[in-house]
Amino acid sequence: MAPNRVMVVVALMFAALLTSNLAWAQNSHFVKSGTATIDNIGDLVCSGWKVAGLGKNVTDDITCSADSSAIYACINNGGHHPSATNKKAVNGPVSGHDEFTSDKNGTISDTVTVAPLGPGTFSCPSGQSQVLAYVCYSSIALDDLYDAHTDLVGNVDRCFLSGSLANDPTLCPTQCPAQP
């Protein structure tokens, strides 16, 4: 074989090795959609999912996204919400992502956490503490770097107040509010 042909063949083989992980990753798909829960600080936790078809040691970026509603309130030292106007509802999209590397079987199973919407410029008067009273996540989905997608079924919500405050529907609705 001529020296130029040998170099071309070696270059093609090297290129094939470099792109083999990418070719495998183009077959990525979710084989398990997972579940969504809310932790003690209001984060959406997308766990129990599994993406496959990546090839061995392929880096993938998994994103969990949702529509979110949160209610922040001012609570005084006695544990009361002294004014109906001392609260703020915020709505909008949220997302979080993390980078993972596939195992020898070309799969990834892990957890992605998404922080709740913040209160913006809302603040409380002196002697009162700002608290996250309620959070809701809906239209929850997982996506990866290679266009795999899965929807997580249902909405999750959580009230962080107790006693009579938890029974106030303006602070803790009984279901996720409709998104604007």
Task: State pLDDT tens for residues 4-56.
Answer: 554 444 444 444 444 444 444 468 999 999 999 999 999 999 999 999 999 99
| Residue (of 13, 144, 160) closest to 72 by Cα position | 160
Whether residue 87 is contained in a domain is answered as yes
The DSSP call for residue 56 is T
Whether residue 174 is contained in a domain is answered as no
pLDDT digits (tens, 9 = 90+) for 144-161: 999 999 999 889 999 999
Domain of 120, in residue numbers: 3-167
**This prediction's pTM:** 0.81
Is a pLDDT exceeding 50 seen at residue 140? yes
pLDDT digits (tens, 9 = 90+) for 75-89: 988 788 877 678 899
Whether residue 55 is contained in a domain is answered as yes
Q: What phi-psi label fits residue 45: left (phi over 0), alpha (psi between -120 and 50 degrees) or beta? A: beta
Whether residue 7 is contained in a domain is answered as yes
Q: How far apart are CA 34 and CA 48, in angstroms?
A: 4
Give me the number of domains the chain comprises.
Answer: 1
Whether residue 178 is contained in a domain is answered as no
Is a pLDDT exceeding 70 seen at residue 163? yes
Whether residue 175 is contained in a domain is answered as no
Q: Give the pLDDT score at 3.
A: 56
134: tokens are: 């309620």
pLDDT digits (tens, 9 = 90+) for 59-70: 999 999 999 999
Q: Give the pLDDT score at 171.
A: 92
Whether residue 122 is contained in a domain is answered as yes
Whether residue 61 is contained in a domain is answered as yes
- Return the CA Rg of the chain: 23
